[in-house]
Structure 1
Amino acid sequence: SQYLNYWWPNLPDWLSGIILIVILTLANLVSAKAYGSLEFWFAMVKVVTIILMIVVGLMVIVFGLGNNWHPVGLSNLWSHGGFFPNGWKGFFFSLAVIAGSYQGIELLGIAAGETASPQKAIVKSVKSVIWRILIFYIGAIFVIVSIYPWNQLSAVGSPFVETFEKVGITGAAGLINFVVLTAAMSGANSGIYSASRMLFKLSVDHEVSPFFSKLSKRVVPNVAILTIAGWILVGFILNTILTQMSKTASNLFVIVYSASVLPGMVPWFVILLSELQFRKQNADLMKNHPFKMPLYPFYNYFATAALLIILAFMFINPDTRVSVSVGVVFLVIMSLIYFIRVRKHEEPEASEEADFENEHHLKKH
């Protein structure tokens, strides 16, 4: 809603929010292909913009384009306090933000179930992740911190906007606003897709009501999608009402969102530990496996240790302490509910087994 207000300042937030939720819900209801197509174009907008910014930025650095043809060079990388100007603590504090940025990458595994050739598609996607990180994250940040001193970035505003305007590209602010809008819609689109598939899987596994495992004629979990979209709409309405009542109520969104940081790491821990167990129990399958992770099991232990270090520094950092604490509370509550339910399911099974043994014993005598 805020991004749309850039072009239409008089457009009510509630109206633009509902329109966007409806569009994304319909895209997910049509088919998995429609979701993929929408996600492709969202990603294309981001990719083209970032690559264009990197190319323009390199021309500023090497040739001085937009800087009276005086090359900026790379001195900003080590000037103004050099590397780690705020010490190692600042570096480790930043890792929490980085980890949050990559949460959702495990969606590759969920998508495998709706891919025509998962062995080829998933392998190709996993391999491309490395190049995407190098280009879109490291490449873009390298250009930004080379052109602008790190201690002046807060005054710059958007480095993307400033970089484009520096070389005379008019309307850069509108362009970046459009890119950010597509990025936000991409996040919401992926959220509806992944959450609905998780709800569908829980229903199939009898963890929740079988009502959520219903499929439409287009073979999409329409009930699960509508449920997730419905709760997004409820959250949007509550956010709108509460912010109208009190400006401080906007902190509720931050708390709710922050609660996802630690739970978002849980799938990573599960994946890392599951692979260790899987490869031990299925050593025969690993002999001719076409896509084994290199340096196993070193990477599993290294990644697990890295995640634990990030969590430790999140507790130390006052800016993230609340968010990780909320995440701990959320996980404890969900774990208690899970174990109570498991125990309830096990008790009838245990009693049935005992009855069977007693009956067998009576018949024997």
Structure 2
Amino acid sequence: MAEKQNRELSRDLSSRQMQMIALGGTIGVGLFMGSSATIKWTGVSVLLAYAIAGLVLYLVMRALGEMLYVDPSVGSFANYATKYIHPVAGYLTVWANVFQWLTVGVSETIAVGMYLDYWFPHIPGWVTGVVVLAMLTAANLVTVKAYGEMETWFSLIKVVTIIFMIILGLLVIVLGFGNHWQPIGFSNLWTHGPFFAGGVKGFFFALSIVITSYQAIEIIGITAGEADNPQVAIVKSIKSIVARILIFYIGAIFVIITIYPLNELDQVGSPFVETFSRVGITAAAGIINFVMMTAAMSALNSGIFSSSRMLYTLAIGKELSPKFLKISKTLITTITKIPT
């Protein structure tokens, strides 16, 4: 009786890695450098914008989580679009995801080169960017576990930085640490402009940017196809990920708008650098530059992973060349079945 072999991608991602991958993909460079611009457009109501976006995100992720629990496949939401809407919907979903990450990947590669220029000013940015891109690609080709562990450390760096910044900020606000022990208090929340500083138009403009900042949380759906014990990992990840992201985003933004008057934010640059400098951390610029570099590398890493799996999904459906089905032996699990 002949044996039949069926290959599937190796399930080596743990629940811990899945949660950190989703966090790492979502917390990007924008929070560290672009937050002051968003606050300027909408004022204190930026907190409401993040809360609304978070609620929408929660509903979407709960729905995705239920579908992933039933069918934790590699193609994830693209497969669901094909199955429950129309094959054209699934096809367009895959290519939208791939082109999105191609665009982001190019920009993040350039960004990595710019950040490395801080330490290596004599090396062209495109050289350092391409070297990092090659390294991340090689890591993705080794094992999915290597990708997950790398993304876990990238995420941890960002998370620790944000938590540290929130704690330092609260010490400045409540105790006056770094401000000659004169507590700043909470008056900056209402003394430098209305709640909707940019009006309704400014609020909705900022809301669109805020929603974009949550981009990449969908990575958790793609990782489900390679998760060890996917049902358990999915439940833990979906239940905790939204709350954690809201704490990091809303917590950091709250500290920023409480410490710095709204009419002075455009002079601050990066609020993270300014907050660390305020409490005497003189290496703040270098620290934040390193964090932003890892944030860009994290986004690039996520893009390589996501787009490669989406192209693999198209190849499975015979909508792309069979060449895209070729994967390294370390990324597959071979299951031997004996037909009855």
TM-score (normalised: structure 2): 0.63
Cα distance in 2 between the residues matched to 1:187 and 1:220 = 24
How far off its partner does 1:54 sit? Answer: 0.3
Q: Is the radius of gyration larger for structure 1 or structure 2? A: 1
Whether contact under 8 Å (1:65, 1:167) holds in the other structure is yes
Q: Which residue of 1 aligns with 2:313?
A: 201
What is the Cα deviation at residue 193 of structure 1? 0.1
Q: Which residue of 1 aligns with 2:282?
A: 170
1:207 and 1:150 mapped to 2: Cα distance?
52
Equivalent residue for 2:169, pick from 42, 57, 63: 57
Match of 1:42 among 154, 165, 174: 154
How big is the shift at 1:168? Answer: 0.5
1:20 to 132, 142, 157: 132
Higher helix fraction: Structure 1 or Structure 2? 1
Distance 1:25 1:174 in 2: 26
1:126-141 maps to which residues of 2 (within 5 A)?
126-141=238-253
Deviations along 1:195-250, whole A, 9 cap, x unmatched? 000000000011111110112111269xxxxxxxxxxxxxxxxxxxxxxxxxxxxx
Deviation at 1:131, TM superposition (A): 2.2
1:122 to 202, 217, 234: 234
Kindly report structure 1 stretches of 4+ aligned residues shifted beyond 2 Å: none
Q: Is the 8 A contact 1:161 1:172 kept in 2?
A: yes
Which residue does the alignment assign to 1:148? 260
What is the RMSD of the two structures over their aligned residues, measured on CA atoms? 1.3
Amino acid corresponding to residue 12 of structure 1 in structure 2:
P
Q: 1:145 to 1:220 in 2, by over 3 A?
A: farther
> Which of these residues, 142, 165, 168, is aligned with residue 30 of structure 1?
142
Name the CA distance, whole Å, in 1 between partners of 2:202 and 2:244: 25
SS of 1:218 mapped into structure 2: helix
Distance 2:160 2:142 in 1: 27
User: In 2, are the aligned partners of 1:29 and 1:220 still within 8 Å (CA)?
Assistant: no
Residue 61 of structure 2 corresponds to which residue in structure 1?
none
CA distance in 2, matches of 1:28, 1:93: 36
Match 1:69 to one of 166, 170, 181: 181
Aligned to 1:179, which of 283, 291, 316? 291
SS at match of 1:66: coil
Please list the CA deviations of residues 307-331 of structure 1 after superposition, one character each: whole Å capped at 9, or x if unmatched: xxxxxxxxxxxxxxxxxxxxxxxxx
* Partner Cα separation in structure 1 for residue 120 and residue 157 of structure 2: 21
Q: 1:67 to 1:15 in 2, by over 3 A?
A: same
Q: Which runs of 5+ in 2 are unaligned?
A: 1-112, 334-340
Which is bigger in relative contact order (C-alpha 8 A, separation at least 6)? 2
Contact kept, 8 Å, 1:77 with 1:145, in 2: the verdict is yes
> Is 2:193–2:262's contact at 8 Å kept on the other side of the alignment?
no
What is the TM-score with the length of structure 1 in the denominator? Answer: 0.59
Cα displacement (A) at 1:134 = 2.5
Residues 29-81 of structure 1 show CA distances to partners (whole Å, capped at 9, x for unaligned) of 01100000000000010011100000000000000001111101111111211
* Amino acid of the structure 1 residue aligned with 2:274: E
Gaps of 5+ in 1: 222-365
Residue type at the aligned position of 1:87: G
Equivalent-residue separation in structure 2 for 1:32 and 1:146 (angstroms): 42
Structure 2 Cα separation of the partners of residues 36 and 219 of structure 1: 13
Task: Determine helix, strand or coil for the equivalent of 1:168.
Answer: coil
CA contact (8 A) 1:60 1:67 kept: yes
Q: What is the CA–CA distance in structure 1 between the aligned matches of 2:297 and 2:331, rounded to whole Å?
A: 24
Moved more, 100-109 or 51-60: 100-109
Q: Paired residue for 1:188?
A: 300
Give aligned pairs, total.
Answer: 221
